[in-house]
Chains A and B, each alone.
Chain A
Amino acid sequence: MLDPKDLRRSSHALDRRRLLKGLGATALGGSLAGVAHAETVHHSVADAPVANAASQLDHVSYLGVHQAGIVNARPANGMVASFDVLAKDTGELETLFRTLTARIAFLTVGGPVPVLDAKLPPPDSGLLGPTVRPDNLTITVSVGASLFDGRPWLAPLKPKHLTRMTRFPNDALDAELCHGDLTVQICANTQDTTIHALRDIIKASSRQMILKWKQEGNVPVITPGPGGRVESARNFLGFRDGTANPNSSDSTEMDRVVWVGPEDGEPAWAMGGSYQVVRIIRNFVERWDRTPFGEQERIIGRTKMSGAPLDRRDGHEFDLPNFTADPEGKATPLDAHIRLANARDEASKAHTILRRPFNYSNGVTRSGQLDQGLLFICYQANLERGFITVQRKLNGEPLEEYIKPVGGGFFYTLPGIRDAADYLGSSLIAAARGV
């Protein structure tokens, strides 16, 4: 392990809070909260990574009542890899979860890589050199409905909203990019670190699971404006994305929006978990770039340059649109993306989701167009009330002409690894054993 004093705590304050919560510290002292706040440079998942601020020693603790990689700010690189799991019984599934936990514990903390006899293949790919540094790495593990279905010893424990992702009207799902028994979301400052982690996990778990699909993406880094405020990153349509995300450093809000709790009626083992939705959404960027500027803004519902709402064009990205004052949609069309997704009224608060998207750029299609888009990832305590409801509101939106969801799936993010003696999914395994 690296010397902990060398590690630089991630700019996000919440992991300390989570750790305290995990250790049973329920009340946060005002002074501690103040300290945490002072350390916080930016605090929303939607905020772009700050240019030139990342360090290889950035460290997000993998321990806590919730998994890391959900409420901490996105680093510049992200990836989702989906696997088929072979486990035939509880013992084999436990072995897989323990294997993943051990790799997460090493990779997110870092340290020298093991060296063996030169006549043997090296245990580490060596991509990061002789010493692995944490580089803000988080590895977040979620499970799909297919892990439960067809395994009678696990099926009764399936979270109640977890289903195989269903097709929405504008989808053109490619079977080779969909679903899976288990996903690993890997985020880090650099792509080398995410790829190193993926290769490590594949090598360590070859007995237990096989890779099904993966999609990498990134978040553009941004130089903070005056006052240190970091604006939301832009997607490949050129618009700021994630402005209306809930404040992920507000743990009360996260308990309401993201984390499954006793009020959600889920199986007891699932407390502290969350529903993860992954959507690989291709953007038809050539066509978008040939669309009039004003029409682009009306389709999205924001000004393109600043991100300000259309009813306050000279305002700021974070100014709230007043849809009530615009019932006919003269400023912001009624079918604009942001208006359909979030009406900004009391009722729509129930449907809040925490988005954690990455832009992707893959190559060239058979038609000679760019294969670019959004690796959309979101988390919510209730899948039906969250993503599914929001997507139903978006069905038929004008933006559909320019986007095509081609892959992804619905998953359940396991509760956190509480302490160094715990392992990922331990509550599920205990429940499967009837303990």
Chain B
Amino acid sequence: MRISGLVGASALALIVSSGAFAQQASLDLVEPIAEYKIYVTEKVAKLVEDTTAFTAAVKAGEVDKAKALFAPTRVSYEAIEPIAELFSDLDVSIDSRADDYEKAEADPEFPGFHRIEYGLWEKNSTDGLAPVADKLLVDVKALEGRIASLTFPPEKVVGGAAVLMEEVAATKISGEEDRYSHTDLWDFRGNFDGARKIVELVRPLIAAKEADFLKTVDANFDTVDKTLSKYKDGDGYVTYDKLTEDDRKVLAASVNTLAEDLSTLRGKLGLD
């Protein structure tokens, strides 16, 4: 689910202008951003691979197999959302929700992962999903292509850690993201991993000056890890309705606090 994004050409303009800015802001960021690009590239490659298998199962009418592949496929997308959202046309067609459409689930425009999720869980069927699956795979491959040729804007990369937390805080903690499958905890895992990755990459740049800040951020990520680990089930997680009210509160407070703290990360690195 996107909060903000830029379509094709305007995204490119942003990249060009902020590319120049990055040199002024901090040469120190060059290496972390290069590493982050490798991280995102690997994730999107995994997303293409997993989506290929997932959409094949949908097209073959294998409901159970498709259900099993749904959540693990999405994790890679959730981890790189700050970058994926730069291409808002693709984000809409890959990851928008029924609420974004006037007729909700019945709207013929409703596409992507959640349209397939709706069919699999609510209808227990793959009827009519083949074209949706085809389009999803095309979109995911297009995303991979666009990311390959993208110069990563530093403020988007660094700011991405906060963006991931804002998304969870605003539209995920309620369990509304994966409302048919209730596989939200998988998405959380992707969002938290993606945010923590960014913090890890810039850590050396602020470790000396911002020790207390990093200690607080680490403690909150650890709280999240500890809470999520209680709900592990095999390689993944149990459904969101199994989350206790107490643990939901702990997650909500950690997310709010991480969002507050990580909102200062750009400024701490001298980025506008």
Contact of A210 among B249, B259, B260 (CB under 8 A): B249
Total contacts A-B at CB 8 Å: 32
Encode contact with A along B255-268: 1 for CB under 8 Å, 0 otherwise. 01101100110111
A118 CA / B272 CA spacing, docked (Å): 8
The answer, yes or no, to whether B270 is at the interface (CB within 8 Å) is yes
The answer, yes or no, to whether B253 is at the interface (CB within 8 Å) is yes
Task: List chain B residues, Cβ under 8 A from A207.
Answer: 253, 256-257
Task: List chain A residues, Cβ under 8 A from B264.
Answer: 120-121
The answer, yes or no, to whether B201 is at the interface (CB within 8 Å) is no
Task: List chain A residues, Cβ under 8 A from B257.
Answer: 206-207
Give the secondary structure class of B's interface: helix
Among A86, A118, A119, find the residue whose CB has the most chain B CB atoms closer than 10 A. Answer: A119
A residues with CB within 8 A of B = 84, 86, 117-121, 203, 206-210
A120 CA / B210 CA spacing, docked (Å): 14
Min Cβ gap B27→A in Å is 17
Contact of B267 among A84, A86, A117 (CB under 8 A): A117
Q: Are A119 and B249 touching (Cβ within 8 A)?
A: no
Task: List chain B residues, Cβ under 8 A from A119.
Answer: 266-267, 270-272
The answer, yes or no, to whether B252 is at the interface (CB within 8 Å) is yes
Residue ID in chain B nearest A203 by CB atoms:
B260
B residues with CB within 8 A of A = 249-250, 252-253, 256-257, 259-260, 263-264, 266-268, 270-272
Q: Are A210 and B253 touching (Cβ within 8 A)?
A: yes
Q: Are B260 and A86 touching (Cβ within 8 A)?
A: no
Task: List chain B residues, Cβ under 8 A from A209.
Answer: 253
Q: Are B272 and A86 touching (Cβ within 8 A)?
A: no
In order of increasing CB-CB distance, the 7 nearest A-B pairs are A119-B267, A120-B267, A206-B256, A207-B257, A210-B252, A121-B263, A86-B253
Contact of A86 among B249, B259, B263, B270 (CB under 8 A): B249
Residue ID in chain A nearest B220 by CB atoms:
A207
A121 CA / B259 CA spacing, docked (Å): 11
Min Cβ gap B62→A in Å is 39
A119 CA / B265 CA spacing, docked (Å): 10
Min Cβ gap B42→A in Å is 31
Task: List chain A residues, Cβ under 8 A from B272.
Answer: 118-119
Residue ID in chain B nearest A117 by CB atoms:
B267
Task: List chain B residues, Cβ under 8 A from A206.
Answer: 253, 256-257, 259-260
Among B253, B259, B266, B271, find the residue whose CB has the most chain A CB atoms closer than 10 A. Answer: B253
Task: List chain B residues, Cβ under 8 A from A203.
Answer: 260
Task: List chain A residues, Cβ under 8 A from B270.
Answer: 119
Task: List chain A residues, Cβ under 8 A from B256.
Answer: 206-207, 210
Q: Are B263 and A84 touching (Cβ within 8 A)?
A: no
Min Cβ gap B219→A in Å is 10
Min Cβ gap A108→B in Å is 23
